[in-house]
Structure 1
C-alpha cells in the first residue's frame, strides 16, 4: 500500500511540473508604478497588435503571447518593429531578450538586444521603433522564449528586478531552424504624394540572397511583383492612412522571407473654415460661448483640432484639443466688450496644419447690470434681515465671492442698503435671476417694490468681473430717525488694569427728557461699550459689546445707567474704551470722561476715552506636574456651565510632547487616584461652558519627572461647541489600577488655543454605541496626499471642508478607507467622518 501511495505522489509531482504556470521557468516581471503597454511587435512572422490603454486593470505587466510563434534561422538577421504608449512626453527604452541556448533564462552573453527608445507616443500614432536582431549561428534549434520589455527612463534587466517604474513586457515563442539560406538585404520606404491624399511604397533590394528570384507582395492584394536582381520596385498608390505591409518571399526557404514594418503616410490636414461666431462679429453674448468651424476640405483627414485663443492677435494660447469641430459650451467669457482672437489648427499623424487664419469676435457692450453668477448660490439658505433700524449691518456671509449670489427676503416699501466688499458692483434681480430690479456700485440703496425673495448678486465691476476672493455681503434695513439722547457719558472707570483673561465692569449714563426721568429703564434706549487699540474717534471702532440696564445704580438722578463686563477676550496690551447710546433708530451718541472723572459726550478733547491696560496672565497653579490639581472620580462637576481649569498663561512644562499632541506647550496638569471599584475610566473635556474649544489631553502613570504616557486624544469629542465644531477631547475606557495615582495633561491645539475648560474623570459606563467613533484614527496628520482612516467603527463617508465650512470633497469610504487630498492647497481642513451611529469631525493639516 505504501508503494502505491508513493507512486501516486510521484505521478502527481510530475503532473504538477508538467503544468507549470506561465512564465515558468522564466522569471516574472512587475511594474508597480503603472503599466504602460506595448502596442505592436513585428518580428519574423510575428505581427501582434494590442490595446494602448494605460493601467494594470487593462493589461498585465507581463503579457503571455507564447502561443504566437516567429520563425528564425541560425545566422540570419531579421528586422523588428515595436510601438508603445509612453503616457505623455516621456522616453521609454525597449530591450529584447532571447534564450538562444534554451537554458531557461536570459542571462547568457548575446541574449539581450537594446532596440532603442520610444518618445511621446500614444501607442497608436505613427511613432514606431525599428531595429534588427541577428540570430547567432550557434543558436539551439527548436522552440525558445523571446521577451520584449519597454520601461520608462532606463533599460531594464530581463526580470525588471527593481519591480518599480512604468512599462510592460511581452513573451513570445521563436522557432529556431538551421540556417540553410541567406535573405536579401531590403529597405522599405513610404513615399508621400501630398497634397494628393495618397502615397507609394518602394522596395529596394540592395543585394540578392540565396534564392535566384523573390516574389514581392503587399497586404492589399496588389499584383505580385518578381525581382531577380538588385533593384527597386514600387507599390501603390495607396489612400492616405492605409497601413501597408510588404513581404519579400524566398520560394525555397520561408526562414529567409523579409517582411516590412507597417508602412503608412498621412498628408498634413488643411485649414478649417467658416468659423462661428463669425469672424469680426460684435454681437456675441457674454457667458458660455460655443466655437464651431467647418472640417478642412483639403489635405489629410484631421484626427483632432487644437483651439487657441487670446486677447491679442498673434499671442494665443492653447485652450484645448477637440475631436469634433466644436468646443461645446465649456468656454466662458464673462467680460463685456471683450475682443477674443482665436484659431483652429487641424492635427493628424503627419502633424499640424500650417498657414491657418486667426479669427476674432467681440462680446456685446455691458447692459449696466450683471445677471451672470458662475460661482452660484451661497449660502444655500435664504437670508432674512433680523434688524431693520437703518444702521445695523445684517451680515449674510463673510466669505462671499464676486460672481455669486445670495437669496434674500425683502418687504415691499422698505429701504435697503446692499453692501458687498468695498468696491463691488451690485445687482438685485428677481427670484429667477433673469430680470434686474436695481443695480449700481456698493453700497446700493433701494426701496423695494417686491415682497419675497430676490437675488443679491456681487461682481467686481460693471463689466461683471468675478473673483474667488472673500468679501462680506450684508444688508442694512430700514431708515435712521433723528431721535438722539440729550446727554450720554462714560460714567466709570476712567481707567483700569486687569490680567489677561480678567474682566472689569464699565458704567455709562444717558439722559433724554421724558424717557429716562421716570423710574425704570427708559423706552427705546440701547447701549454699548466699545474697545479699540487706538485712541481714535469711537465712531470708527468696530468692536461693541451690548450693555444692560443697571437697576441697582446709586443716585443716577434723571439719568439711566447701563453696565457691561468686558476684557476676558483681550490679549495683553493697551486699549481704549467708550460708551455708545442710541434712542430708537436714531444716530449713535458716544460717551467719554474728562481728567476730573466727570462724564460727558465724547469730543476727543474735554471728554475722551477710558484707558485699559491688560497685563500678561500669571501662570496657573497647575502649570507643572508638581502642582497638579486634584480631581475626584465621578464628581459630576462638568454640567455644560461649570469650568475647573484654564491654560491661560500656561507655559511649557518640559514634558515631551504626547503622541497625539499638535502643540503641548501651553499645558496644565491634573491628578486623580483610581477608585477601588474602577477597572477603566473615561477622561473628557467634551463639555460646553468653557472658552478653550480645541483641547488635546494625555494620561500618564508614575510620578512627576518619571512619567509614562498611557493614552492620548485630540478632537475625539462629539459635543458641538460654540464655534460649531467638536474639537474637544475624550479618552474612553482606558484601564487603571485601583489605588494608583495618575496624571492628566491638558493643552490647547496651538499657541492660539487657550481659555477655561472643564475636565472630568469618571468610571467607564458608556456603551459601545455611544463611543463607536471614538477609536477612529486618521493618518498621517499632517498629510501630503492620501489620508488613511483606521479603526473598528464602520465609517461610511468622509466630507472635507475648509475652515469657512465650504464643502470641498465627498467620498464613500465604505470599502476604500482613504481620501486623496493631494489637489488641495496647504492649510487646515475639517474631515467629517460619518457612520450609522454618528459623526465625528477631525481637524487635518495639509502640507
Structure 2
C-alpha cells in the first residue's frame, strides 16, 4: 500500500513560508476531463483508475472502489503550472455511489458513515500537501449525480503547483465507488497593495519551547497582495520593540529564542509607505529538556479527538497516515487552575480489522512542575475504560478526570496523550503499556503533545485587621450584643464606603474553648459600618452575636477576606491600643459570658424533717428543681441523699433546655430528734393479752416487732410469749422517736380446773357453788366455752 499523502494540517509556518512575493509569472490555467486512459495516467494514482461507467460528464472519469480490503485511494496531479502569486480557483466534480448500482436511488447513504474525500494542493509532487476541504457524511449530498465543488488558495509566486485527492473508508460495511472528474483550475492576476495593510495577528508554531527548540512565526491570515515588505520585531516586555538581529524580513521568521519573548510583524505597503503592526504573540522558553520521543513499532493507530479545558482537537483517523508522536503545541493551550479538576474526553481508531475486538486504552501525562519529564508521581492519569471496534469518527469516546495539583507550577507546560493497544490475559501490564516515552510498548497506538497553561490563584490578604470593640460581653441567655472590627488594605479601604473585595465575619468559639479562631466553625457575616467614628484609613464592620447561645463562656474574634483569598483573623489588645492580627498573646479574643435568665425558685428558707429524710423531701416551687450543697457550682445532689441537721441546701430551676436559674434559693434543714419512750423491759400478761396491754410512757406510742423499720403492729394484735416488742413515740403523727424501747413479753398460762364427773345432778335451788370442780385460785364460771361474761 502506498504511503498516504504527506499532509500538513496544522503547520501554518510552512504555508506562510511559501507565501513570499516573487517576480512576474504566468498564471495557472489547467483542465482535465479524464475522458481517456491517457488523461488519467498523467496523474500518479493509487487505486484510482480510468472508468467510462457513469462518469460525471464526457467519456470518462477517475474512479476508485473502496471497501474493507481496499480502504483508501489517492492520486497526485502533474504540475498544473507556475503560480503568479494570485488567487487560484480549483473546480472539480465528484460523487459517491454504492458498488452494486449506479442508480441515483442507490447513492451511498450518509447514515452509513461511509468515509471521506479530501482535496489538497502542494508546491511539490512529494508534498507537503495542504488540505483544502473534506467531504464526508456531515456535508456530502446523497446523489448519483456528480456534485460541483469550488475551492480557492494562494500558492506562492514562482512555485509549481500540484493537486491531490485522498479518499478512505471508515465503515466496515461500506463498499462504494468514488468518482473524481471535470478538473478546472484558473488563477487570477495578483493584486498590488494600496494604502495601509489590514490588521493582522502574529502566531507561533508553538507557544512553549524546550531547550534548543526553534519556533516559526507567521500571520494567522497571511497577506495575499504583492508590493509588501516585512520586518519582524521582538520585545522582552511587550512594550519596547526592536528589529530582530538578523533576518526577519520575510512574512515568516524562524528562530531559537534564548528566553521568553514577544514577537510582532511590521508590514509595509511600498507604494503607500503605510505600515501595520500585527498583534503580538508571546513565545515561552521553558528552560527544560524537550519531551522524550515515543515510537510504536507495530503501527500508528491514531488518536482522533482530544477535548480538554479549551482544547477540542480532532485529527486524522487514518491508520498509518500520521506520525507516532504528533505535535499540536501550536494550538491554543488548555487553560487550567491549580487545585481544580477537569474532564478529558478522547477518541481514536482501534484499527481492529473490522470487529476483531482489540481494546485501546489511554493515559495522559502532564509536566506539572515544568522539569521536562513526565516521571513525577502526580503527572500520570490513567483514563478509565477503553474503546473497541471504533474507527475514530463514530462518536465512541472515553472520559476521565484530570485533577490539577494545588502545587502545580504556574505557566505553560507540556501534556502528552498516549493511546495504546493492550492485550494480556493475566492483566499484569499497566494500561496503557509502555508509559510516556520510548518504544517499550505493545507497538500499536499514537501519542499527541499539547500545551497546558496553569493558573495559580493569587492569594490576597488584607494588610491589617483587628477586633475593635468590646473586649468582653455579658448577656443573659437570649440576649445579644454588637461586635466591631476594622480592616486596612492600601488602595482599598482609604476611600469612603466599603472597600471592594472585602468580606468580614465575627466568629464564636465552642463553649469554654479559648482556641485559635482558625479552628472555629461558627462565623456570623459582618456588615460595613457607614457610621463608624473616626475609622481613619480603615473600614469598620459589625455583627450582632449571642442570641442563640446557651449559658457558658465563649470567645469571639474577627475574620476578613480580600477577593476570596486566605482568611486573616483579628484580635483585641488589652489595654486598648488598636489590636491587630490575632496571635493569641498580645492580640487576643474577646470574652462572651452568657448567663441563665431563669428566675430562682421559691422555697421556705427553714424546713423541718424527721430523721432519715432525703433530698426528695425538700420543698420548692418550680419545674425541674435541682438541689446543691453549695450556692454556686458543684454537682446536683441525688434525690436519695439523706438530709442532715443544720445544713443549708440550695434549690435551682433547670427547665427544658438546661439553663439553670440565675440564683439558687437556700433552705436550712432542721432534723427533729424525739427521745425513745420509757417502759419496763419485761412485762407479764395473762393469756389473751393484746398490744394495747403493753405499757410505755410517752405520747402517741406505737409498737413494732423490729428495732428499726417494719410496720406498726395493730393495737388488738395478741401478744406472744417471749417476743420482744419495740415502743416508739410519734407525736401528732409526725416524726418517730430517735430510737425504739424494747419490751420482752411473758404470757402467764393458768391450768383449767378439773372434775371427776363431767355430768353432775342437783336438786332444785342448787347454785354454781354446788358444782364439783377442783382448781387453784378462784373458780369463775361462764355460760359459753369461750367468751361471754362471768356468771354470778
In the superposition, the TM-score normalised over structure 2's length comes to 0.21
Name the structure with the higher strand share.
1
**Greater RCO between the two (CA within 8 Å, min separation 6)?**
2
Query: TM-score under structure 1 normalisation?
Result: 0.19
